[in-house]
Amino acid sequence: MSAPLLEIRGIHKRFGGLHALNDVSLAINVGEIYGLIGPNGAGKTTLFNVLTGLYQPDEGAFTFAGRDLFRKKPYVVVESGIARTFQNIRLFANMTALENVMVGQHVRTRTGVIGAVLRHPRARAEEAGIKTRAQELLDYVGIGRRHDELARNLSYGDQRRLEIARALATRPTLLALDEPAAGMNPSETEGLKKLMEKVRADGVTILLIEHDVKLMMGLCDRIAVLDYGKKIAEGVPEAVKNDPRVIEAYLGVAPQ
Ligand SMILES: Nc1ncnc2c1ncn2[C@@H]1O[C@H](COP(=O)(O)OP(=O)(O)OP(=O)(O)O)[C@@H](O)[C@H]1O
């Protein structure tokens, strides 16, 4: 079997006396949709923040595509091929949908943001390509016709799609989504599920935090469960759903 795409071993993260991640290890294979669930405060977002360089873990190891990413800065993580979205939408509210995606691509351009602002000839040529690609990404996530709309005027579901387009603009091999279905109605959630399946079919591995258990059960290849910073279960959805430790963590009582 080939090496995992992402592997973390023995990760610890403490905030003062709070042990937010306690010896967490997991491995995600190329092409998987891997889910992360757990009660509120279990440490899911903290793990995302560690994986994307926003938080420095206290101990452990973290490799991605064979590269050591332990305690690396967020831009190194993005350049290595990990992109993420946030639990609370973080778009540029007063920029158009197209501009939001164009910004996401600058991590992969030769001239970068400064060159683009100064409008070098090379930057101008690159800019045209960026614009075309941004439109393709908007089409890809299903909001191509809203390209000129300010992000803040998009519906909630479309803002979530725009965030995914912006993350895909960095050409990731792993897309990490923090509660992408939060606040969505059932038909928006179904559309999101189809989009994630398409992203995976196009070769991007997905790591997903989500509270919508039905969505997770129908979408993920494997699921890990965090509780009080510890990984208490991992496996295919059916096995995880019936695991007594998981039921206890969610209900607060051991199953009869
Ligand atoms: N920057 C921080 N400073 C102090 N404590 C933090 C910080 N970030 C997270 N925590 C704490 O770490 C614990 C885990 O939080 P985290 O946000 O990772 O949980 P979560 O599983 O994502 O929860 P939710 O499902 O509610 O989003 C919580 O007790 C939280 O208060």
What are the sequence ranges of the domains in the chain? 1-81+172-256, 90-171
127: tokens are 């800019």
Task: Let me know: does 208 contact 175? Beta carbons within 8 Å.
Answer: no
Q: Under a CB-based contact definition with an 8 Å cutoff, are residues 198 and 229 in contact?
A: no
Sequential DSSP letters for 106-156: GGG-SSHHHHHHHT-HHHHHHHHHHHHHHHHHHHHHT-GGGTTSBGGGS-H
Rounded CA-CA distance 123/117 in Å is 9
Q: Are strands 18-28 and 6-15 parallel, antiparallel or unpaired?
A: antiparallel
So what's the pLDDT on residue 86?
A: 86
The alpha carbon of 86 and the centre of ligand 1 are apart by a number of angstroms equal to 13
* Angstrom distance (rounded) from CA 170 to CA 102: 10
Could you tell me if 221 and 33 are in contact, meaning their C-beta atoms sit under 8 angstroms apart? yes
For the domain made up of 1-81+172-256, the CATH class stated in words is alpha beta
The pLDDT of residue 198 is 97
Q: Candidates 46, 207, 208, 230: which one to mutate for ligand 1, based on the most atoms within 8 Å of Cβ?
A: 46
User: What is the spatial distance between Cα 111 and Cα 102, in angstroms, rounded to a whole number?
Assistant: 13
**Which CATH architecture group holds 90-171?**
3-Layer(aba) Sandwich (3.40)
Max CA separation in the chain (angstroms) = 70
Question: Per-residue confidence of the chain (256 residues) as pLDDT tens digits?
Answer: 678 999 999 999 999 999 999 999 999 999 999 999 999 999 999 999 999 999 999 999 999 999 999 999 999 999 999 999 988 878 999 999 999 999 877 766 655 666 666 667 777 777 788 899 999 999 999 999 999 999 999 998 999 999 999 999 999 999 999 999 988 899 999 999 999 999 999 999 999 999 888 899 999 999 999 999 999 999 999 999 999 999 888 866 655 5
What pLDDT does residue 111 have?
58
Write out the two tokens for 64: 């991605």
**Side by side, which strands form the sheet with 33-37?**
82-84, 174-178, 205-209, 33-37, 222-227, 230-235
pLDDT value at residue 205: 98
Q: How far is the CA of 183 from the centre of ligand 1 (A)?
A: 20
ipTM above 0.90, yes or no: yes
How far, in Å, is the centroid of ligand 1 from the Cα of 209?
A: 13
Residue 227 contacts residue 22 (beta carbons within 8 Å): no
Q: Strand 33-37 vs strand 222-227: parallel, antiparallel, or unpaired?
A: parallel
Supply the pTM of this predicted model.
Answer: 0.90
Residue in 125, 98, 96 with CA at minimum distance from that of residue 111: 125
Q: Give the separation between CA 165 and CA 83, rounded to whole angstroms.
A: 11
Nearest atom (ligand 1) to Cα of 229: 14
Ligand 1 mean position, distance from CA 43 (Å): 6
Whose Cα sits closest to atom 31 in ligand 1?
A: 41
The Cα 172–Cα 105 span in angstroms is 11
